[in-house]
Amino acid sequence: MTSPVLEVSRIRKVFGGVVALEEVSFAVAAGEMVALIGPNGAGKSTCFNVVNGQLRPDEGHVALHGRAITGLPARKIWRLGVGRTFQVAATFASMTVMENVQMALLSRRRRLLSLWPRATRLYRGEALELLERVGAADLADRPCGQLAYGDVKRIELAIALANEPALLLMDEPTAGMAPGERAELMALTAAIAREGRIAVLFTEHDMDVVFGHADRVLVLDRGHLIAAGEADTVRNDPRVREVYLGP
Binding-site ranges for Mg ion (CB under 5 A): 44-45
Determine the Cα–Cα distance for residues 145 and 181; give it in Å rounded to an integer. 19
> How big, in percent rounded to 5, are the helix, strand and coil portions of the chain?
40, 25, 35
- Give the DSSP H/E element, type plus range, for residue 69: none
SS3 assignment, position 12: strand
Does the footprint of ligand ADP cover residue 45 (CB under 6 A)?
Answer: yes
In the complex, least distance from residue 37 CB atom to Mg ion, rounded to whole angstroms: 11
Q: How far is the CB of 46 from Mg ion (least distance, A)?
A: 8
Is there binding between residue 50 and ligand ADP (CB under 6 A)?
A: no
Residue number with CB closer to Mg ion (45 or 163):
45
166 binds ligand ADP (CB under 6 A): no
Q: Can residue 40 be called a binding residue for ligand ADP (CB under 6 A)?
A: yes
- Pick 119 or 170: Cβ nearer ligand ADP: 170
* Size of site (CB under 6 A) for ligand ADP: 11
Toward ligand ADP, which CB reaches closer, 42 or 162? 42
Rounded CA separation 220/44 (Å): 7
From residue 107, alpha-carbon distances to 23, 75, 111, 115, 177 in Å are 35, 11, 6, 11, 29
Catalog residues that contact ligand ADP under the rule CB under 6 A: 15, 18, 20, 38, 40-46
